[in-house]
Amino acid sequence: MTEEQFDRVYSLNVKAPYFPVAELAPPMTWTAEYGPSGVRVNAISPGPTRTEGTDAMGEGLAQLAAQGPAGRPATADEIAEAIVFLATDRSSFVNGAKLAVDGGRTAI
């Protein structure tokens, strides 16, 4: 991966979510604030995932993913399934959770 590619991935995966949340999070805790009104606040924490954005990583993504228990990168559909689960009533009692969809990487 080139430095330019790394910077693009880092900007998308770290900087883009960090700064908006940093501005909003200090004055509130979203789950406690909106939970009583029926709003559920959950997050997906994906592991290495094969997408158009990660195509530039080539075999580097596969090598990174091979270090986890699943031994492979996720597909975009696998990540989407977790998002759909959290967005539907199937997860009606899930609130304030971070769902690791990472092929077991956080377990090791």
pLDDT confidence of residue 27: 59
Long-range Cβ pairs for the range 6-12 (8 Å, 24+): 8/53, 9/53, 9/54, 9/57, 12/53
Helices within 57-107 (DSSP H only): 59-65, 76-87
Question: 108 vs 26, which has greater pLDDT?
Answer: 108
**Architecture in CATH of 29-107:** 3-Layer(aba) Sandwich (3.40)
The model's pTM is: 0.74
**Section 1-10 average pLDDT:** 85
Write out the two tokens for 42. 């959950």
Domain regions of the chain by residue span: 29-107
Average pLDDT over residues 64-69: 94
